[in-house]
Amino acid sequence: MQQSDPFWASPVDHLAKVRPDVPTFYACPAVLQSVAREFIDGFDGLVTYAVKANADPLVLANLSAAGVTAFDVASPYEIDLVRANCPHAALHYHNPVRSRSEIAAGVAAGVASWSVDCDVELSKLLDILPPHSEIAVRFKMSVSGAAYDFGEKFGAPADMAVHLLRRVAAAGHRASMTFHPGTQCADPVAWVSYILGAADIAQRAGVHIQRLNVGGGFPAWRNGQRPALGAIFEAIKSTAKAAFPYRVDLVCEPGRAMVAEAFSLAVQVKSRRAGALYLNDGTYGALAELPVVRGFDRVHVVAPDGTPKTGPTTTFAAFGPTCDSLDRLSDRLTLPCSTAEEDYLIFDGFGAYSVVTATRFNGYGASDAVLVQNL
C-alpha cells in the first residue's frame, strides 16, 4: 500500500478530485485511535494487537500512539515490522507452530510470550528458550458464536493442555494459558465457556497460571450494526474473577475489531455488461475475505464526480480484474441500477484482512492509501 501525505476530508472528497484508477484504501487515524482507547479503557488487562489483521505501519504507529504497548506477531517478518515502527513494544509470538530458526529469531528479538499446543512444539521451545520464559498453553473447546472456528487448526484438547501445562511448569518456565474463540465472535458466552475451561484445566494440572490470554475474535460489524464490546469485556472480567481462586492477569489480542472500522475501500467499475460488473479489485486482491466473513450490506456507489448513486436497485455479478475465472465474488451485489463504468464502489469497515491478503497476481493488487479526517 502506497501512502499519501496530506489529509483529505473524506473518501468522496478525494475520489471526486483525484479519480484514482487503482483500488484505494481510506484510512482514518482518528477511528483507529478511538477504537484502541475503547479496548484499553474497557478491557480489564493488557491489550495487544494481532498484527496479521493489518500490518500497515500507519496502523502500528497509530495504535502505539493511542497507548497499545504489545503486539501479537506470527513470524520474524512481523517481528521486524513491529520493531521498526514501535521499537519498545512487547512482542507475543502466538503462532503455535514455528521452525527452530523462527524461534531463534524470536529469542533474539526479545519475545515476551510464546504459545504452544502440542508436545513436539513444546520440546522445540524448551530446547531453545532462555529460562523463565512465558509459555501460554493454547487449548480448544467446541464453542459456537464465531464466523469460523479457529479450533480446527490450533489448540490442544483439555487432557493435552493439562499435560502441557505440567511440562511448562516442570521446566521452570512461567505457565500461562491462551485460546481464540474464533473470529467475529459476538457472543460473550463463548469467552465465559473458555475461561471456565481454562480454570478447570489449570486446576487439574495443579499449576498456578500467571496470565490468561483471551484471544482475539472480538466482533466488528455484524448483521447491520457494530456490536458493543462492553458486554464481552464485562463477562470476561467477572468470569475470570470468579473462576480462579487466585489473581490471574488478563491479556487480549484483537485483530479484526481493532482495525476494521478505520478503513474504507473504494474500487472502480472498469466495465459493465448486462448483469455483471468488472471491478479493479477482486478475490486475489483486497476482496479476498469478503465472501467468507463480511456481509455485503456496507457497499455504496458514487459517480466519478462524487455524487451518490441512488434509486432502484438490482443485483450484479461482480468480477475482479485478473483473467482467472475464480476471480469473482461469490455473492451478487445489490446496487443501484444506474451503476456504470468509472463509478466507485465504496466498501466500509474494510480495515481487517484486506490490505494484508492482496496478491499481485496477474499484475493487479496494488493499492493506494489515503488519509482522511472522516469516513
Ligand X SMILES: *Cc1c(COP(=O)(O)O)cnc(C)c1O
CB of 337 to ligand X, least distance (A): 36
CB of 61 to ligand X, least distance (A): 19
Draw the binding track, 144-183, toward ligand X (x: CB under 6 A; -: no contact). ------------------------------------x--x
The residue range among 50-58, 62-70, 271-279, 282-290 that interacts with ligand X, by the rule CB under 6 A, is 50-58
- Contact between 187 and ligand X (CB under 6 A)? no
CB of 352 to ligand X, least distance (A): 6
Binding to ligand X, residues 58-77 (CB under 6 A): 72
- Residues 52 and 81: their CA atoms lie apart, in Å, by 11
Residues in the chain: 375
Read out DSSP for 165-201?
A: HHHHHHTTPEEEEE----BS---HHHHHHHHHHHHHH
> Which residue number, 153 or 273, has a Cβ lying nearer to ligand X?
153
- Contact between 343 and ligand X (CB under 6 A)? no
Draw the binding track, 241-260, toward ligand X (x: CB under 6 A; -: no contact). ------------xxxxx---
CB of 47 to ligand X, least distance (A): 12
Which one of residues 50, 73, 89, 236 is an interface residue with ligand X (CB under 6 A)?
Answer: 50
- Contact between 217 and ligand X (CB under 6 A)? yes
Q: Is 10 helix (H, G, I), strand (E, B) or coil?
A: coil
- 278: cell is 468488472
CB of 206 to ligand X, least distance (A): 26
Read out DSSP for 294-361?
A: --STTEEEE-TTSPBP-S-EEEEEEE-SSS-TT-B-SS-EEEETT--TT-EEEESS--SSSGGG---G
- Residues 228 and 326: their CA atoms lie apart, in Å, by 36
> Which residue number, 151 or 320, has a Cβ lying nearer to ligand X?
151
Phi, psi of 93 (to 5 degrees): -95, 90
The residue range among 7-15, 25-33, 195-203, 213-221 that interacts with ligand X, by the rule CB under 6 A, is 213-221
DSSP H stretches of helix in the chain: 11-18, 29-42, 57-66, 76-85, 100-108, 119-128, 158-170, 188-205, 230-243, 256-259
Which one of residues 11, 45, 155, 216 is an interface residue with ligand X (CB under 6 A)?
Answer: 216
- Matching residue, cell 530446547: 127
> Which residue number, 24 or 115, has a Cβ lying nearer to ligand X?
115
- Contact between 219 and ligand X (CB under 6 A)? no
Binding to ligand X, residues 82-121 (CB under 6 A): 94
Q: Is 84 helix (H, G, I), strand (E, B) or coil?
A: helix
Amino acid present at 288: A
- Residues 45 and 126: their CA atoms lie apart, in Å, by 27
Cα torsion 258, 374, 289, 323: sign: negative
Q: Is 112 helix (H, G, I), strand (E, B) or coil?
A: coil
- Contact between 140 and ligand X (CB under 6 A)? no
> Which residue number, 293 or 369, has a Cβ lying nearer to ligand X?
293
> Which residue number, 23 or 182, has a Cβ lying nearer to ligand X?
182
CB of 309 to ligand X, least distance (A): 32
Binding-site residue total for ligand X (CB under 6 A)? 16
Q: Which residues bind ligand X (CB under 6 A)?
A: 50, 52-53, 72, 94, 180, 183, 215-218, 253-257
